[in-house]
Amino acid sequence: MDLFQYKNGVLYCEELPVDSLPEKGLPTPFYLYSVNTLRQHYKKIYGAFAKLDPTICFSVKSCNNVHLLNELAAMGSGMDIVSGGELFVVKQSNADLSKVVFAGVGKSDEEITDAIISEVGYINIESEQELARVQELAGHLKREVSVLIRVLPDITDQKTNEKTRTGYKGAKFGIDYAAVEALIEENADHPFVKIRGLHCHIGSPISSYTFYQESIQKMVALTASLKRKNIILKVLNIGGGFPANYVDNDNFSWESFAEPIIALLEPYVRNEGFKIILEPGRSISANTAILVTKVLYIKQSGDKHIAILDAGMTELIRPAMYNAFHFIWPVKPEPQHVLANRNYPVEQEGLTNYDVVGPICESSDYLAKERPLPPLQQGDYVAVFTTGAYGMVMSSNYNLHVRPAEIMVDKDKAFVIRERETQQDLVRKMIRHEL
Ligand code: LLP
């Protein structure tokens, strides 16, 4: 459930009518975040897994605005990061760095050094060579660092888009399941680099808890086998990839999703003192924002109705890249098209099928194809829902469009949390100098 709802014929973000912002002069497109949705989603997910007393490490790659990270850090969230840039932003968010996990297959020496000096909780090791590099750098610095070994479990959810699967054999992520045990045995006694546990992330979004059960079973089998060799691992990071709601605004039962996972892990937590880490991104952030955009033109092409918006793949690349579905609806529809609840497909008379496209010079620049929508007019504001994850963070300046503003709403108050870029910003780094 998110806090974007139609009231009095218009879409509200919490207690603020969405159209009041562009009417006050805020240029479209912009991302509009509901901070109380963010807070609720964090609390729901934490609450559902509370029996495990987990550390939630919010996946910063899904949504990286420091003000939103601040909100999560204030509720006790840790952070899952994948670059020195993310570490830099996380440091400004007041997050507890001991609750930071650092993943990624290609960490540079500078990034590893920064992570060690910053005393992040764990570096997730994704290859044998990376482990050797971390050992070397920690040795130079004479600083201890805790690491988790990322296991590549050979598990695939076929419902996950091919481009966002990470757990299949041959993927670039983690270390082959069969090679992990020997690697840990060989490196168990390093003076500076302490192997504390395992990490596994099988892709996103994952459609059923059963895939987590499979990967957890594989991880606990490894820890049991190592325990017989007196190597004790007590940290299990089960990754992210929990689902978000892209089609309606119904309540998702986090309890039903979490229970079977808890059933598997609880004995290890209770009897063996295991520490559990979760890395949710989209399940916390996706339903937190909408993209507000304006209809620039309507035209007919062959038998197609085309609605051209001022936002497209430069603001939201997910439809172009993954053929992803995002619910779209006008901010202030005609009274007969106001929605009590979002629910796709919408059962209403008088809808027209539109290809909803952006202004970018690419055929892949679309937000929806053949989408039934109320008749759209030039100047209408349109909301693209569930865009708080992998929306703004994947935006670009392609075609030299400026990146949009991010606005955060708390009840009836709106705050700019990232300014819209200016055209000056587009040339700011185009500085010619001789090398
Ligand atoms: N942990 C690791 C190691 C990850 O690689 C990811 C996502 C997550 C956690 C968080 O996954 P989430 O809970 O947000 O699903 N751009 C794509 C998604 C790429 C995901 C990359 N890794 C999209 O728009 O769907």
Token output for 146: 């805790």
Q: Do the Cβ atoms of 70 and 93 come closer than 8 Å?
A: yes
Compute the distance from residue 149 Cα to the ligand 1 centre, in Å. 18
Burial class (CB in 10 A: 0-12, 13-18, 19+), 138: buried
Picking from 119-128, 149-158, 210-219, which range would have the lowest pLDDT averaged per residue?
149-158
Region 183-212 average pLDDT: 94
Which CATH code for domain 4-34+288-427? 2.40.37.10
CA dist 120 and 345 (Å) reads 45
pLDDT at 271: 95
Which ligand 1 atom is the nearest neighbour of the CA of 283?
13
Ligand 1, pocket-test mutation among 59, 83, 390, most atoms within 8 A of CB:
59
Residue 301 Cα to ligand 1 middle (Å): 36
d(CA 225, CA 429): 53
Q: Which residue has the higher pLDDT, 252 or 410?
A: 410
Q: Does 340 have pLDDT greater than 90?
A: no
Does 319 carry a binding-site annotation?
A: no
Best probe residue, ligand 1, of 61, 173, 199 (max atoms within 8 Å of C-beta): 61
pLDDT above 90 coverage of the chain, percent? 91
The whole-number pLDDT of residue 169 equals 87
Q: What is the pLDDT of residues 294-312, one digit of tens each?
A: 999 999 999 999 999 999 9
Instruction: Out of 57, 63, 200, 361, pick the active-site residue.
Output: 361
Candidate of 204, 211, 387 to mutate for ligand 1, largest count of ligand atoms within 8 Å of Cβ: 204
The superfamily (CATH) of domain 53-282 is Alanine racemase (3.20.20.10)
Mean pLDDT estimate for the chain: 96
For residue 112, the model assigns a pLDDT of 98
Instruction: Please report the atom of ligand 1 found closest to the CA of residue 204.
Output: 15
Among candidate residues 1, 10, 5, the one with its CA nearest the CA of residue 337: 10
- Respond yes or no: is residue 361 known to be catalytic: yes
Tell me, what's the pLDDT at 1? 87
SS3 content of the chain, % helix, strand, coil (to 5): 35, 25, 40
Q: Ligand 1 mean position to 13 CA, how many Å?
A: 26
Residue 241 assigned as binding residue: yes
Tell me the pLDDT band of 161, cut-offs 50, 70 and 90.
confident
Residue extents of the structural domains in the chain: 4-34+288-427, 53-282
> pTM for this structure?
0.97
Whether 53-282 and 4-34+288-427 are alike in CATH topology: the answer is no
Task: Decide if pLDDT at 260 tops 90.
Answer: yes
Once rounded to an integer, what is the mean pLDDT over residues 43-53? Answer: 97
Could you please report the per-residue DSSP string of 318-379? HHHHH-----EEESS--GGG--SS-BSSP--SS-EEEEEE-SSSSTT-EEEEEEEESPP-TT
The ligand 1 site (C-beta within 6 Å) comprises 59, 61-62, 80, 103, 164, 201, 204-205, 239-242, 279-283, 318, 322, 389-390
Contact indicator for 38, 71 with CB cutoff of 8 Å: yes
User: What's CA 175's distance to the chain center, in Å?
Assistant: 23
Nearest CA to ligand 1 atom 16: 390
Report yes or no for ipTM above 0.90: yes
Rounded Cα distance, 3 and 18, in Å: 12
Mean pLDDT computed over 225-239: 97
Distance 280 CA to ligand 1 centre (A): 8
To 10 degrees, the CA torsion angle through 362, 368, 370, 371?
Answer: -150
Would the pLDDT of 245 be above 90? yes
Q: What are phi and psi of 413, to 5 degrees?
A: -110, 140
> Tokens for 239?
């990754």
